[in-house]
Amino acid sequence: MSSVILALDQGTTSSRAIVFDIRGEVRAVAQHEFRQIFPQPGWVEHDGREIWSSQAGVAAEALASAGVSPRDVAAIGIANQRETTLLWDRKSGEPLHNAIVWQDRRTAQHCDRLKQDGLEPIFRAKTGLVLDAYFSGTKLTWLLDNIPGARERAEAGDLAFGTVDSWLAWNLSGGRLHITDASNASRTLMFNIHSLEWDKELLDILRIPAALLPKVVDSSSVYGCCSGNIFESIPIGGMAGDQQAALFGQGCGKEGMAKNTYGTGCFMLMHTGARPVTSGHNLLTTVAWQINGAAEYALEGSVFIAGAAVQWLRDGLGIIRDSAEVEALAATVTDNGGVYFVPAFSGLGAPHWDPYARGTIVGISRGTTAAHIARAVLESIAFQTDDLRAAMESDSGVLLSELRVDGGASVNNLLLQFQADLLGVNVVRPMVRETTALGAAYLAGLAVGFWSDRNEIERFWQRDRLFTPLMASDRVSMLKQFWAKGLGRSMGWDAP
């Protein structure tokens, strides 16, 4: 009997592969970074061939490290960087251009023109997304307009579009599968999250031929098997965008459950059940996953700068030598000494969406030390997350009962305690923090019967540590008031 699940966690800067056993525990991990390509300011690209070769390489390495062979693998699950856009030749499988990464801003003016034409409400109503260069639709239009002959070849059915999940499934299957799951499709500006289909009106607006598009499938299903590579005959059984996969891996399968990933930025998702909730606070409405043809939805808020602010303390100010030192330095003082830091290095994300905000430190006095600044930086991550919580509760009408956390900065106990104090609910760190890959593994394992149902896998979730609110409510209120004042100082700073 097959003994493991192989999860492919294809990220923005590296490809990872993790082998999980029947208990949902990690057997082996392999990771490889790949090139970041910056053709000009604001442009970010990846080589699609490197994405595939690095992902295939770490998958083979992880299996070898776990001491298992491909025949021991029950299924492969895919979690991926979202919105990154690829275009390739259906016959040769060769990309026509580098992948345009989600961070890329080259289509910002295209989005501005669509807004000026009064089209944003249509996109918002149908896709749940703001009209922004972040998403795949305008990136695909750019590729069709800028690669000689691409539009004609696309209309003739010779080309294929896909996000990274589609690209990996295509290569794993030897070109037999051209698919995407509903969670990834919901990040393209082309997918109607209500009808769960590609939307003809949006395709016409973006001038995208339907012949390019992958088939939209469930997030958990046997799509086909690997072919023409060392993973021959392994079923491909699960796909989801990385943040949705983390929500699934955290066991947040019921309405009102939420997770926050503390990475370079923060991504907070709240499960809203079988209904898409329209945000009045500039949060994104997204498909969490689709299983047995039924979609479940989430509200999503993104914080641009979280762990990156700690890196700035290290690389920009030089007050720590290693990011892990920030907790010890911040703990040498009992509070922030009245210092508040707004990390708007490149504007503010949800729920403020102010591209003209800039980083701000306020409340400095003669007694301010490096420790106070370090503490203010950590607290800024928690303050931004609390802003997302307030927006999500207002939009959904559901009060947060606890927050499950993951990501690199979730090892920081001082940060998580302060987060619990601000939120006024328990913050819970799981034993297995590889929740993105775990979610992909669970989706694949369910598809092939490796696990019986969602109740079984939710029982695997184990708590590492619980952080309960300890701070007096009047002090919490005072801190939030000063944070709001600091935000006000930073917003609009660089406006023309």
Distance CA 323, CA 331 (A): 14
Tokens of 87: 């275009």
Report CA torsion sign: 83, 27, 411, 58.
Answer: negative
Beta bridge partners of 309: none
Maximum distance among all alpha carbons in the chain? 69
Q: 395 labelled as ligand-binding? A: no
**Which residues 6+ apart lie within 8 Å of 192 measured at CB?**
126, 127, 198, 199, 202
82 annotated ligand-binding residue: yes
Pick from 269, 52, 261, 59: nearest CA to 165: 52
Residue type, 85: T
The torsion defined by the Cα of 106, 108, 110 and 112, in degrees rounded to 10, comes to: -170
71 is in an annotated binding site: no
Is 12 marked as a binding-site residue?
yes
What is the Cα–Cα distance from 230 to 181, expressed in whole angstroms? 24
Residue 393 marked as a ligand binder:
no
CA distance 299 to 383: 18
242 is in an annotated binding site: yes
13 annotated as a binding-site residue: yes
Residue with tokens 């993951």: 406
Distance CA 296, CA 125 (A): 17
Is 65 labeled as ligand-binding?
Answer: no
Q: Is 408 annotated in some ligand binding site?
A: yes
Residue 266: enclosing H or E segment and its boundaries? strand 266-273
129 three-class SS: coil
Pairing of strands 258-262, 266-273: antiparallel
Q: Is 384 annotated as a binding residue?
A: no
Find out whether 98 is annotated in a ligand binding site.
no
Q: Is 264 annotated as a binding residue?
A: yes
Nearest-CA neighbor of 385 among 302, 483, 278? 302
Which residues are annotated binding-site positions for sn-glycerol 3-phosphate? 12, 82-83, 134, 242
Which residues are annotated binding-site positions for ATP? 12-14, 264, 307, 311, 408
Which residues are annotated binding-site positions? 12-14, 16, 82-83, 134, 242-243, 264, 307, 311, 408, 412
Which residues are annotated binding-site positions for ADP? 12, 16, 264, 307, 408, 412
Which residues are annotated binding-site positions for glycerol? 82-83, 134, 242-243
